């Protein structure tokens, strides 16, 4: 028995350091698994966000955030709900049926807020800038070719279509008229959806329209219209925005911030797809693929050739043009005078999210 005892003692002395190291490794592994097990439910848990969309080209940021996994990485399961127009999203946004919505800043939005249906404009979703005039005035081609239309001043007496009463397209038309010394009442304004403008122009039912992409490109390619002005009509117009419901912003601020982080990552990816005022950047093919996948227009060449919209990579809103639009609506008595832009805009979510992201540099 004694030799065996000696062997055991000798082995213990020889391997003491190895045994100690292995023990420490085991302890660390057990501790790691314990921590991982504790964290797993929180990491894997997802929260649902209901998002209202009008199915326009500028909805691409949300499609990107979903397909690129930006929402997933923030623990968000986004549920898309499609609406015929932004106006139809106001009521469900006010009641909290929708957490987030994408749309335009029209008279109806201000009226809803003034009536106590609270919501917040939280980020840029599409604006007009030099080289990015994706919403503009178009004039029937034969009027241009015949010489009846030569400049903005020739709009006087014409029938011009805009999307709806008290919409951003009306304010854009007003800016075009102001440039030539005309008043809004100097033209006959009718209201048509963008797709209906195509038939109205073909049938000569209207003389001009304020359209937006991708309908704008469809009209130009069909040879029905020409651009109504050589220069940008309404620089900086805040044409589309992201909206939060009051309950989402107030009751779920951490989730609202995570949603914004995913959204801003998508806007930066989109900006990397642009080059020389067109979809010609290195990531453009992915943008075109998503638009043909999620929207009604399935011809990729429409998106490849359309005028892209500008969007701020930090989500910043153009308050100057929003104030100008509101003043126009109020001047036409479409909105009361007890509401201000500042009462509706809340940039805190975008500002906080932008701080967590690195300063945007194209292609990084």
pLDDT, tens only, 87-123 = 889 999 999 999 999 988 999 999 999 999 999 999 9
CA separation for the pair 60, 58 (Å, rounded): 5
Q: Per-residue pLDDT for 31 more than 90?
A: no
Q: What is the mean pLDDT of residues 285-297?
A: 88
Of 346 and 306, which is predicted with more confidence?
346
Structure tokens, 132: 């990015």
Residues in a beta bridge with 240: 126
Structure tokens, 10: 């000798």
- What is the per-residue pLDDT for 58? 87
Q: Per-residue pLDDT for 305 more than 70?
A: yes
Q: Cα torsion for 166, 168, 171, 177, to the nearest 10°?
A: -120
Q: Which of 4-18, 55-69, 157-171, 323-337 shows the lowest mean pLDDT across its residues?
A: 4-18
- What is the per-residue pLDDT for 57? 83
Mean pLDDT of the chain: 87
Q: Per-residue pLDDT for 171 more than 90?
A: yes
Q: Which of 43-47, 138-142, 221-225 shows the lowest mean pLDDT across its residues?
A: 43-47
pLDDT confidence bin for 86, thresholds 50/70/90? confident
- What is the per-residue pLDDT for 15? 47
Q: Cα torsion for 110, 115, 116, 117, to the nearest 10°?
A: -60
Q: Tokens 């479409």 appear where?
A: 334
List the one residue out of 327, 291, 323, 326 whose CA is nearest residue 309: 291
Q: Per-residue pLDDT for 6 more than 90?
A: no
CA separation for the pair 173, 157 (Å, rounded): 14
In this structure, which long-range contacts are made by residues 5-8, counting pairs with CB atoms below 8 Å and at least 24 apart in sequence? none
pLDDT confidence bin for 26, thresholds 50/70/90? very low
- What is the per-residue pLDDT for 25? 52
- What is the per-residue pLDDT for 85? 79
- What is the per-residue pLDDT for 84? 79
Q: Per-residue pLDDT for 210 more than 90?
A: yes
pLDDT, tens only, 310-358 = 999 999 999 999 999 999 999 999 999 999 999 999 999 999 999 999 8
Percent pLDDT > 70 in the chain is 87
pLDDT confidence bin for 212, thresholds 50/70/90? confident
- What is the per-residue pLDDT for 122? 98
Q: Are 295 and 218 in contact (CB under 8 A)?
A: no
pLDDT confidence bin for 177, thresholds 50/70/90? very high
């Amino acid at each position: 028995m004694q030799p065996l005892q000696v062997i055991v003692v000798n082995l213990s002395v020889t391997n003491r350091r190895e045994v100690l190291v292995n023990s420490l490794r085991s302890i660390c592994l057990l501790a790691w698994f314990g921590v991982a097990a504790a964290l797993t439910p929180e990491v894997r848990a997802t929260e649902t966000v209901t998002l209202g969309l009008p199915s326009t080209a500028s909805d691409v940021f949300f499609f990107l955030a979903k397909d690129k996994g930006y929402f997933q990485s923030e623990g968000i399961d986004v549920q898309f709900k499609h609406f015929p127009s932004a106006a139809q999203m106001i009521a469900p946004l006010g009641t909290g049926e929708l957490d987030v919505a994408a749309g335009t800043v029209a008279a109806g939005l201000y009226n809803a807020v003034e009536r106590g249906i609270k919501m917040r404009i939280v980020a840029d979703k599409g604006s007009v800038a030099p080289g990015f005039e994706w919403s503009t005035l178009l004039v029937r081609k034969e009027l241009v070719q015949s010489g009846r239309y030569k400049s903005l001043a020739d709009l006087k007496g014409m029938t011009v279509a805009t999307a709806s009463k008290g919409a951003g397209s009306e304010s854009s038309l007003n800016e075009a008229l102001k440039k030539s010394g005309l008043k809004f009442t100097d033209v006959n304004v009718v209201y048509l959806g963008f797709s209906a403008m195509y038939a109205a122009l073909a049938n000569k039912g209207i003389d001009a329209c304020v359209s937006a992409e991708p309908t704008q490109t469809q009209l130009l390619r069909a040879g029905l219209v020409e651009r109504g002005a050589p220069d940008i009509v309404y620089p900086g117009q805040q044409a589309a925005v992201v909206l939060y419901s009051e309950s989402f912003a107030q009751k779920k601020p951490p989730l609202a911030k995570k949603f914004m982080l995913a959204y801003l990552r998508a806007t930066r990816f989109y900006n990397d797809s642009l080059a020389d005022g067109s979809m010609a950047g290195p990531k453009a093919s992915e943008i075109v693929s998503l638009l043909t996948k999620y929207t009604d227009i399935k011809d990729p060449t429409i998106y490849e050739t359309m005028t892209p919209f500008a969007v701020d990579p930090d989500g910043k809103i153009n308050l100057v043009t929003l104030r100008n639009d509101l003043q126009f609506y109020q001047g036409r008595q479409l909105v009361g005078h007890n509401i201000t832009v500042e009462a509706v805009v809340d940039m805190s979510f975008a500002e906080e999210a932008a701080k967590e992201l690195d300063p945007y540099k194209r292609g990084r």
